[in-house]
Amino acid sequence: MLTHVVMFKLRDRSADHVAHCKQLLDGLPPLIPEIKRFDVGVNVVESPRAYDLVLVSEFDDEHALQRYQVHSRHAEVQAYLRDNADAVAVVDYVD
């Protein structure tokens, strides 16, 4: 199993915008069969080093992750989040 973790530090940190970004991510699992697990969390503890949103997802292997990454709806959501983030951090690891 491959775990894919992405953290977003958003420019607009308002509750409404963070909720909108979470909603965009939450809409992906029904559309992309490669997703085995998909958890989206919103930060609740303020800190200068904290990120606003985190995605923890699982895929069977790297090939499944690659199919997810090129899926058209994922590409749309990814572009929106990158355009609205000051920083994005990613970790992929095999469990």
State residue 24's pLDDT score. Answer: 98
Q: What is the mean pLDDT of residues 62-76?
A: 98
Question: CA end-to-end span of the chain, whole Å?
Answer: 6
State residue 64's pLDDT score. Answer: 98
**Domain 2-94 class?**
alpha beta
Per residue in 13-47, pLDDT tens?
999 999 999 999 999 999 999 999 999 999 999 99
Helix (H, G, I), strand (E, B) or coil at 16: helix
Q: Report the alpha-carbon distance of residue 32 to residue 18 in Å, rounded.
A: 22
Q: Which residue, chain included where needed, has tokens 């904290």?
A: 50
Q: Report the alpha-carbon distance of residue 33 to residue 31 in Å, rounded.
A: 7
